[in-house]
Every structure is written in C-alpha cells, then in structure tokens.
Amino acid sequence: MVKVIGIGDNVGDIYLDSYEMFPGGQALNFSVYAKRLGAESAYIGVFGDDAVARHIAGTLDEVGVDRSHCRHVQGENGYALVELVDGDRVFLGSNRGGVLKDKPIILDSRDESYIRQFDLVHTSNNSYFNEQLSKVHKLGVAISYDFSKSWSNWRDVEQIAPHLDYGFLSCSSDMTDEEAGETCRKVHALGCRSVVATLGSRGAWFYDGELRLFQASQYVDPVDTLGAGDSFAAAFLVDYLRQNKLDQGLMNTSTHDREEACRQALASAAAFAAQSCLERGAFGYGKKYQHPLPKRPRTNKSS
C-alpha cells in the first residue's frame, strides 16, 4: 500500500454565504484525499485550542487520517474567509495560518523516525515548512511541494526546488502552452525532478526533463472549486506511486513505461479533481460556525 503524509497547513474555511466552516488547508486536504484514494495517510500540523481546531482534528479522526504527531498549542487556529461566485471559490482573507505562523513545525528525531515509514511527504507554500525540507530530503523520502501561485518568486523556488521530487504550480487559465512549458522547464532546471502546472479549467502540463504531457480537464458544473488543485495533486501522486510500487521501480525503467504511467496518473487526477468540485468545501464535513465572524485580515490567502 502507498503510504503518504501531509505536513503543514490546516485551516477552517469559513463561508460567508452560509456561515459554515469546512476543514481545509493544502497539506491537510492532501492527506484526506489520499486516504479517500486508498492510501495509508497521515498528517502533521499545528492546531490551536479553539472551535476551528477541534472541528478539523475531529474530522481527521472520523476520516481515519493519523494525526499522532500533530502539535497542539494555545492560540487561534488557521482560518480563511471564503465566498462562492458561480461555484468558484474566492478567498477574501486569512490569518495566515494562525498558530502555525508563530510556531512552525520543527522536526525532532521522533518525527524523523516516523516520516521514514512513508513513501512521500507533501507540503506547501502556506506550511511554513521550507526550512525543514533539507531534513526530509536527507531521510530519503520523496517530497512533493505545492507552490500554489507563489512559483513566480524565483528566489524562493531556487532554494526549494533541489529538494523536490514533485512540484505543483497553479497557473492562470490564460497562460499559453509555450509559457507553461517554459515555466515547467525553469523549475525543473532549478532541481525539481517532475513539475506539474495546472491551468484551471483548461487542464495541466507534466514535465520531467524527458516527458512533456498534457492532460485536459474533465468538465463538470461545479458546486465549489475549493480543493480542486489539492485533489489533482493527491490523485496524481497516489496513482503514480502505486504504479511504481507495483512495477518495482517504474521511475527507473524505460521512458515509454513512465509515459504510460504518467498518462494514467494524470487522467486519474483529472477525474478525481472534477469530482471534488461537486461538494462544498474541500471535501465536505461542514458545520455551522457558532461564533462571531473573524475580522477580515488585509492579507489574502493564496491557494
């Protein structure tokens, strides 16, 4: 069985239209999606001591994602304020990770022993985990990183990319194929082994230095696009890693075999991402938010 772990951000996505709160966050979403896809899944993050934290932690227990290495501290959990416009999520602001921002995850020897059990670690630009990537890299565990829209900060990419096996970039749907290809090549040249650039409703490009593959999106009438990118990444990685385990080293075999595996994983990712757009929140589990809405911060949460 494929074993994966998300490390980093968790937030309560608070919808202003319905006064509902849904569990979210790039790293946490990945862990839940991977569990739904049949992987053995875990999550390491930092929880506050408020209602948002309790709901998210309880959801992980209900879903069956291990959180035994999570931190629990006093303070406000991460949250984001969200509204829907014709099914497309719009982030209005966030507290930038809440307690995670001030008390980021610093791996200790117990964490490192635990992480060695997994096939892959997935984290993100909102996880305050960049300084720990070198530790994970030395453990010999594959690393996947969601840059979201922050890939245009090339100074940061230059520092992060050498540690990465997979990098995911959120690009605009009006980016040309040539521009997407050049962006993928640049991130790959900086050290990331495989790069996936998602282009919204158009689809996604995959590039690993040899293969350059396009996957069209599967069209649905979306209820809520929140989590579409996270679900795409999770489905691609779980499918590709599963094939690698079954073939006992697929990534080191012929280009033709890798191409077939990539095409299958990309198709699985497109299908799973489309289905994720048919429920509210990243993966459901909403509940009424029984507290005054937080004040809108001036800074927006990237996704």
**pLDDT, tens digit, for every residue of 167-223?**
999 998 889 999 999 999 999 999 999 999 999 889 999 999 999 999 999 999 999
Beta-carbon contacts of 196 under 8 Å, excluding residues fewer than 6 positions away, are 166, 167, 168, 169, 184, 204, 205, 206, 207, 232, 233, 236
pLDDT digits (tens, 9 = 90+) for 6-38: 999 999 999 998 889 999 999 999 999 999 999
- The residue ranges of every structural domain in the chain are 3-288
**Over 80: is that where the pLDDT of 253 sits?**
no
- Pick from 254, 217, 284: nearest CA to 56: 284
Q: What is the CA radius of gyration of the chain?
A: 18
Contact call for residues 41 and 234 (beta carbons, < 8 A):
no
Contact call for residues 171 and 148 (beta carbons, < 8 A):
no
Residue found under tokens 């593959």: 213
Strand partners, 45: 8
Taking CA atoms, 187 is separated from 191, 195, 214, 215, 230, in Å, by 7, 7, 17, 19, 19
How far is it, in rounded angstroms, from Cα 293 to Cα 210? Answer: 49
Residue 251: enclosing H or E segment and its boundaries? none
Contact call for residues 122 and 6 (beta carbons, < 8 A):
yes
User: pTM value?
Assistant: 0.94
Q: What pLDDT, on the 0 to 100 scale, is given for residue 92?
A: 85
pLDDT digits (tens, 9 = 90+) for 73-117: 999 999 999 998 887 888 888 999 999 999 999 999 999 999 999
236-252 burial string, b = 16+ CB within 10 Å, else e?
A: bbbbbbbbbeeeeebbe
Query: Starting at the edge strand that comes first in sequence, how are the strands of the sheet with 79-85 ordered?
Result: 88-94, 79-85, 11-15, 20-24, 287-288
In degrees and rounded to multiples of 5, residue 117 shows phi and psi of -75, -15
From the candidate CATH numbers 3.40.1190.20, 3.40.50.1580, 3.30.530.20, 3.40.50.300, the one assigned to the domain spanning 3-288: 3.40.1190.20
How far is it, in rounded angstroms, from Cα 297 to Cα 275? Answer: 31
Q: Name the token pair of 144.
A: 């996947």
pLDDT digits (tens, 9 = 90+) for 113-158: 999 999 999 999 999 999 999 999 999 999 999 999 999 889 999 9
